[in-house]
A and B are shown apart, each in its own frame.
Chain A
Amino acid sequence: MLLAVAVLSGFVMALAAPWLHRIARSTSGWVLALFPVALTVYFAGQAGRVAAGEVLAVSIDWVPSLGIALSFYLDGLSLLFALMISGIGALVVVYAGGYLAGHAHLGRFYAFLLMFLASMLGLVLANNVITLFVFWELTSVSSYLLIGFEHEREAARQAALQALLVTGLGGLALLAGLLLLGQAGGSMELSELLTRGEAIQAHPFYAPILLLILAGAFTKSAQFPFHFWLPSAMEAPTPVSAYLHSATMVKAGIYLLARFNPVLGGTELWFYIVTAAGAATMLIGAYLALQQSDLKRILAYSTMSALGMMVLLLGLGTELAVKAAIVSILVHALYKGALFLVAGAVDHETGTRDVDRLGGLRRAMPITAAAAALAALSMAGLPPLFGFIGKEMVYEAVFEAPTAVVLLTGVVVLSSMFLLAVAGVAGLRPFFGERASTPKHPHEAPLSLWLGPFLLAGLGLFSGLFPGAAGWLVSPAVAATWGQSTGVELALFHGWSPVLLLSAITVAGGLGLFAGRSACRRAASRLAIGSRWGATRWYELALDGINRLARAQTRFLQSGYLRYYLLTIIATMLGLTAYTLLSRAGLPVPQGSLQVPLYQAVLAGLILLAALAAVRLQTRLGAVAALGVVGYGVALIFVLFGAPDLAMTQFLVETLTVILLVLVLYHLPRFATLSTRRERVRDMAVALLAGGLMTALVLAAAAVQPQLEVSSYMADHSAALAHGRNVVNVILVDFRGLDTFGEITVLAVVGIGVYSLLKLRIRKGDRP
């Protein structure tokens, strides 16, 4: 139960945050951070039980009719993520208090941040797949609000939308995949599904399920070619970049892959798609990172590369690879979180994030510089930092890949060289070398700004020196991902092996790239692949295409001309009804004798002629008169078939209509012919066909012998029960009195309408 409280209380805190901020003012960051600190303590307290193989679970009914339960469970994998989310969350909240101090909307910022924190916790703790999806989408929404936090800037709005759309697209695929998975596995609960891997992999839905879920994971974790939203998302304030777009949210896709590995992993399809996507992302990200000069964009692309590496490892799916992947998650969260926070502090103190304009800051900002250096060394994968352990494990895993060892090893080593150079650019270059002049005169950042990076980078060093502690956290996570328990031995020194040689090559190559980075950048800018063929361009083309399509379609359908609307409606009616009639009942044949008395034939001919005249006549008066003839003709038919009261009504209505029309004619503009000959022929064809169809329907209906129960009841009971001899009148006022009542209402409204429309004319700009 406490587990559910841990997740849901975050939303309450989010609501309370603006109010708490108003009370605590400048210390609000510290006060609000108590909440994620408490969460961290709580989760850390569960670590012992989880390490012993226990799984905490809680389930509350939510929408049982749709198979949704608010169910959570905590195993090794969830715990690792939960600790990262709440722990780094605490540091980021503190950091935000300093970074955005004095910002008018800081309270709102906290609210979004805490909402994200709660959603992310829900995501990694959810047991029910729909609940998981609910939190998945909430992280996208909070990310949207946070990227667009500086909403008055066009670029921030665009970036927010881009991130929302790309992850939203993946989210929809994910939803479809999860629903299919639920169908194939016969349960909506992850804990159940995890035990049914074989059945699901044998299910015909396996391939679509896998592809859909991968689409969700790849968009969220910025895998090529969906990666482009991540660099754009750097429009967000730096605490957001550090927290959402590096340490936690972008790892949701990784979490998903790890989580579903026992269910969906291990197949060829999984291996090829996941490994290939990961390898491509890793290499492209690392390459692009070195081309940037904006500190945050450098870090964004290197994040993309690191995510690619994790995906690649999970794609390999061997025991070694899974271990390496889980360790990399933790390694990356520590050093990248630190580097982002450092970047924010540097920006905050100097007023720029351009690495070419930064240098020699170590004197002004010694603590920040120390944190940055530690984090950069970890990123570079140098001993004795945690990053070294991670990188060695990655090399080992790739070295024992089931296939394509040379290719994969090449990709990983090459990427690592780039990343090493990038670590130098982002973590060391601003602090060492010559002092460069900056827009603002730098001072050491306040405690709130250096505490986070310092702790994170320090943890990286600590875990490198004492890997046992990290191993204690990592091994339950590996067990959950791998599907069975397995020991994880982390050590700094792995013995003399080819892997160590690869590390040495990486360092040498990386240093070379660092030295030649300017030349490298110039060469790349001449190629300009990104702007011509990059994914951003495809995104823009797609969005533009949809908007064009939308406009074209709307111009075509909603043309603004009533005549086309009518034509479409009648043609639709005609097509549907005629097709159904012909295919299902056949063209009706008139029953009985076709002999019509002469007077009826004459009358019918007169109506037809008048109708033709109404269409053909070029004067309004003539057309109105002809229409009058049609109406009177119909009324005469009523008389001939024994319905005098109906005929009387029709006469009155027709007379009134003609008089009214003639009165109005005076006010109308001159008669004009607006349609071409072809249009008139087309209209005539539609009109004749529609009339023909109605005739056919009436003929078909006439052939059916209806049951006369209702009409004979009315005829029989009219006089006896309703005390009226005129059955039509009795029907109107008694049997079906409600109809008449409704029609009277209609007339009353017409009265109001005519009066009000004549009397009330409001023009634009009238004062109320």
Chain B
Amino acid sequence: MNVLLVLPILIPLVTAAVSLLAWRRPRWQRWLGIGGAAALLAASLALLESVRNGGIQTAQMGDWPAPFGITLVADLFSAIMVVMAGLVGFAVVVYSTATVDHRRESFGYYPLLHILLMGVCGAFLTGDIFNLYVWFEVMLIASFVLLALGGEREQLEGAFKYVTLNLMSSALFLAAVGILYGVAGTLNMADLARKLPQVEQSGLVTTLAMLFLVAFGIKAAAFPLFFWLPASYHTPPVAVSALFAGLLTKVGVYALIRVFTLLFTQEVSYTHTLILAVAGLTMVTGVLGAMAQNEFRRILSFHIVSQIGYMLMGLGLFTVAGLAGSIFYIMHHIIVKTNLFLISGVANHFRGTYQLKELGGLYRAYPGLAVLFLIPALSLAGVPPLSGFFAKLGLLQAGLATGQYAIVATALGVSLLTLISMTKIWAEAFWKPAAAPSVDPPAAGTGTPQDPSQHDPPKGSLALFAPVVVLAVLTLTMGLVAEPFVGLAIQAAHQLMNPAGYIEAVLGGRP
């Protein structure tokens, strides 16, 4: 048993529990949070290192041999995702200390955040399909409370839609797991991978795959199931938006990739072609949704949907190159999208609004922020030599290699629309001259709108900018020095396309 597999679940749990004990002391919670998140990041990096050197790692919970107990498994894909969770968690916790108001801090903000991280890591690490459901529930409830925490009217409306639609996903997931157990008699995913091909009614297995596709498709915010995301992501404090934007949908994508490489490969020509179609439609509807928005965070939210399409594209292609493209895309996207939300928060911090119409003049007042915005924004649009370009390129090459020209053309066209959308933010919030100071008193938020010509622009603190800078540097690094990251993604994709290694690692030599 490898203790590194347990740490990503244990560390956030302990951090959350200790933070709960310090309920009335937000200052302690902040430092605890930063410490806990740093420890999580360190543990996740150690896990990735151990998987890279020692192959797929497993841990049998309660020492019950697989498939009887619950197994935690880390292959490269899982380990990469846990590292991403650690990274985003750390960035967001630091950023939260600068942006989240005292009242939310004293009502359980930090413990909830860590429990969310625990749920995310659990979902990435579990090798058991029902246990995955449990982690989904942990994530759902923690994210719901975080979303609603504060109880602003807009928040509650968003949170209500969020929780209802996600419960729909949970119900479908649970039903699917139940029927799957009835058919295969096991919940361990490696064991399922072994037993499902022996089920005579393979048509029934493919039918169940559809249920999983819809259940996880809701979580991943794929077309036409994404409604909860644009309805809610612009409502909570921006640190929460950033955390959700970075991690939540990606757990859905992770689950889709996991079950559609390990379990449901009976009729690839049907299931994965369907996924490819979904991918294309998700790209298009998402980006069109973004183009119709005029608020910083709403634009970014719809782009998440659009980019989920790219991540599903590699799965739909179902080749090593395709999956490697998807995995690299996920890594790139998590960093870039989290950062863009953080930057929208910085803009709000200075100007007290997310409306593009009311923003403006940021380029003149904060040239540094402008550069920090351009890096992830251009990367999102796939402009070379930033990370997004190589992510897109990998997928395009994989698509061309399999002759899927329609999805390649779609991916290219959508990237142009993404560029339009990003330049819209740039032109409106940064280039455009600052709007005349409003007569109305400043809206909610910690910043106050100011006329930059009259006062010195307000300054941000280290905790506000450090996460943004670090993530921007990572985006640059993943582009300029892309090879190690691409190489890692390709290795991870190899493991996914050859599930025998995963099965062997979990079940050992069992017949």
On A, residues with C-beta under 8 Å from B are 61-67, 108, 130, 133-134, 137-138, 141, 144, 148, 151-152, 157, 160-161, 164-165, 168-169, 172-173, 175-176, 179-180, 183, 543, 546-547, 549-551, 553-555, 557-558, 560, 562, 565-566, 568-570, 572-573, 576-577, 580-581, 583-586, 694, 697-698, 700-704, 706-711, 713-714, 717, 734-739, 742-743, 745-746, 749-750, 752-753, 755-757, 759-766, 768
Report the bound CA distance from A138 to B389 in whole Å. 12
Residues in B with CB closer than 8 Å to A714 are 68
Complex Cα distance, B202 from A335, in Å, reads 73
A760 pairs with B103, CB closer than 8 A: yes
Q: What is the CA–CA distance of A135 and B329 in the complex, to the nearest angstrom?
A: 22
Given contacts A565-B228, A738-B131, A745-B115, is CB(A761)–CB(B141) below 8 Å? Answer: no
Choose from B141, B179, B419 the contact partner of A750 (Cβ within 8 Å): B141
Is B443 an interface position by the 8 A CB rule? yes
Residue of B nearest to A734 (CB): B62
Report B282 CB to chain A, min CB distance, Å. 11
Q: How far is the CB of B503 from chain A (nearest CB, A)?
A: 15
Question: Smallest distance from the beta carbon of A180 to chain B beta carbons, Å?
Answer: 7
A183: which of B150, B385, B401, B482 is its contact (CB, 8 Å)? Answer: B401
Contact, CB under 8 Å: A165 / B416: yes
- B152 touching A764 by the CB < 8 A rule? yes
The interface-forming segment of B181-189, B247-255, B334-342 is: B181-189
CB atoms of B138 and A746 under 8 A apart: yes
Residue of A nearest to B200 (CB): A704
B419 in complex: contacting residue of A63, A164, A742, A745, CB < 8 Å: A164
Chain B 445-479, CB-CB to A under 8 Å as 1, else 0, gives: 01000000000000000000000000000000000
- The CA of A713 and the CA of B431, in the complex, are separated in Å by 67
* Closest partner residue, chain A, to B9 (CB atom): A738
**Residues in B whose Cβ lies below 8 Å from that of A133:** 384
Determine which of B168, B210, B490 lies in contact with A569 in the assembled complex, contact meaning CB atoms within 8 Å: B168
CB contact under 8 A between A138 and B384, given known A553-B288, A706-B182: yes
Which residues in A have their C-beta under 8 angstroms from that of B111?
Answer: 752
Contact check, B227 vs A568: say whether CB atoms are below 8 A apart. Answer: yes
What separation, in Å, do the CA atoms of A671 and B511 have in the docked complex? 60
Contacts of A702 in B (CB 8 A): 182
Q: What residues of B have a CB within 8 angstroms of the CB of A61 in the complex? A: 483
- A719 CB to closest chain B CB (Å) equals 15
| Cross-chain contact A64 with B396 (CB below 8 angstroms) | no
CB 8 Å contact bits of B341-365 with A (1 = contact, 0 = none):
0000000000000000000000110
A152-B432, A584-B267, A757-B151 are known contacts; what are 6 more A-B pairs with Cβ within 8 Å?
Answer: A175-B396, A176-B408, A568-B225, A580-B209, A713-B68, A738-B62
In the complex, are the beta carbons of B224 and A739 less than 8 A apart?
no
> Which A-chain residue is minimally distant from B223 (CB atoms)?
A557
B101 within 8 A of A: yes
Smallest beta-carbon distance B378→chain A, Å: 7
Q: Which of B268-293 contact A (CB under 8 A)?
A: 270, 274, 285, 288-293
User: Which chain A residue lies CB-closest to B367?
Assistant: A108
Asked if A710 meets B67 with Cβ closer than 8 Å, knowing A172-B416, A572-B214, A768-B101, the reply is yes
Given A547-B291, A707-B186, A739-B130; A151-B416 close (CB under 8 Å): no
Contact (Cβ within 8 A) A704 B183: yes
B135 touches A742 (CB 8 A): yes
**Bound form: Cα–Cα A553–B187 in Å:** 40
Is B122 interfacial (CB 8 A cutoff)?
yes
Interface string of B430-448 (1 = CB under 8 A from A): 1111000000010110100
Contact size range, B: 35 or more
- Answer yes or no: B1 CB below 8 A from chain A CBs: no
Judging by beta carbons under 8 Å apart, are B61 and A737 in contact?
A: yes
Could you write out 24 A-B pairs with CB less than 8 Å apart?
Answer: A65-B486, A66-B486, A138-B385, A565-B161, A568-B224, A569-B214, A572-B214, A572-B224, A573-B172, A577-B210, A580-B210, A581-B207, A584-B207, A700-B204, A704-B182, A706-B181, A707-B184, A738-B61, A742-B134, A746-B141, A749-B142, A752-B145, A753-B148, A763-B152
Residues of B within 8 A of A130 (CB): 393
Give Cα distance in the complex from A164 to B378, angstroms: 12
B427 interface residue (CB < 8 Å to A): yes
B14 within 8 A of partner (CB) = no
What 4 pairs between A and B have smallest CB-CB spacing?
A584-B203, A706-B185, A585-B203, A753-B145
- Chain B positions near chain A (C-beta within 8 angstroms): 13, 20, 61-62, 64, 67-70, 101-104, 107-108, 111-112, 115, 118-119, 122, 126, 130-131, 134-135, 137-138, 141-142, 144-145, 148-153, 160-161, 164-165, 168, 172, 175, 179, 181-188, 191, 195, 199-204, 206-211, 213-214, 218, 224-225, 227-228, 230-231, 267, 270, 274, 285, 288-293, 302, 363-364, 367, 378, 383-385, 389-390, 393-394, 396-397, 400-401, 408-409, 412-413, 415-417, 419-420, 423, 427, 430-433, 441, 443-444, 446, 482-483, 486-487, 490
Name the A residues within 8 Å of B164 (CB-CB): 562, 566
A388 CB, nearest partner CB in chain B, Å: 42
Given A130-B393, A137-B384, A768-B103, are A735 and B64 also a contact pair (CB < 8 Å)? yes
Selected contact of A760 from candidates B61, B150, B214, B400, CB within 8 Å? B150
Q: Is the CB of B390 within 8 A of A66?
A: yes
Partner of A179, one of B302, B396, B444: B396
Determine if A148 and B431 form an interchain contact, defined as CB atoms under 8 angstroms apart.
yes
> Chain B residue with minimal CB distance to A557?
B285
Report chain A residues within 8 Å CB of B432.
Answer: 151-152, 157
Q: Are B122 and A742 in contact (CB under 8 A)?
A: yes
Query: Chain B residues with Cβ under 8 A from A717's Cβ?
Result: 68
Pairwise interchain contact A710-B145, C-beta atoms closer than 8 A = no
Task: Please determine whether A735 and B62 come into contact, CB atoms closer than 8 angstroms.
Answer: yes
Whether A557 pairs with B224 at a CB distance below 8 angstroms is: yes
Which of B152, B203, B416 interacts with A168 by CB under 8 Å?
Answer: B416
B64 cross-chain contacts in A, Cβ below 8 A: 734-735
What are the residues of chain B within 8 A of A62 when measuring CB–CB? 482-483
Contact of A558 among B138, B181, B231, B389 (CB under 8 A): B231
B204 touches A739 (CB 8 A): no
Nearest B residue to A766, CB-CB: B444
Q: How far apart are A520's CB and chain B's nearest CB, in angstroms?
A: 37
Contact of B165 among A161, A543, A566 (CB under 8 A): A566
| Chain B residue at minimum C-beta to C-beta distance from A556 | B285
* Minimal Cβ-Cβ distance residue in A for B152: A762
Q: In angstroms, how far is the closest chain A Cβ from the Cβ of B143? A: 10
Which B residues touch A752, using CB under 8 A?
20, 108, 111-112, 145
Contacts of B119 in A (CB 8 A): 742, 745
**A760-B210 CB under 8 A given contacts A152-B432, A710-B186:** no
Contact flag A738-B70 (CB < 8 Å), given A549-B288, A707-B186, A749-B141:
yes
Q: Whole-angstrom distance from the CB of B88 to the nearest CB of chain A? A: 20
Contacts of A565 in B (CB 8 A): 161, 165, 227-228, 231
Tell me the complex Cα distance, A566–B213, Å: 16
Set of chain B residues within 8 Å of A553, measured between Cβ atoms: 285, 288-289, 292
Tell me, in angstroms, the Cα distance from A755 to B134 when the chains sit together: 23
Q: Could you tell me the distance in whole angstroms from the C-beta of A614 to the nearest C-beta in chain B?
A: 17
Which residues of B are found within 8 Å of A164, using beta-carbon distances? 419, 423
Chain B residue with Cβ nearest A721: B64
**Are B151 and A742 neighbours in the complex by a CB distance under 8 Å?**
no
Tell me the smallest distance from the CB of A168 to a CB of chain B, in Å.
Answer: 6
Which of A550, A581, A583, A753 sits near B292, CB closer than 8 Å? A550
Q: Which residues of A contact B191 (CB under 8 A)?
A: 710
Instruction: Collect the chain A residues with CB atoms within 8 Å of residue B420's CB.
Output: 161, 165, 543, 546
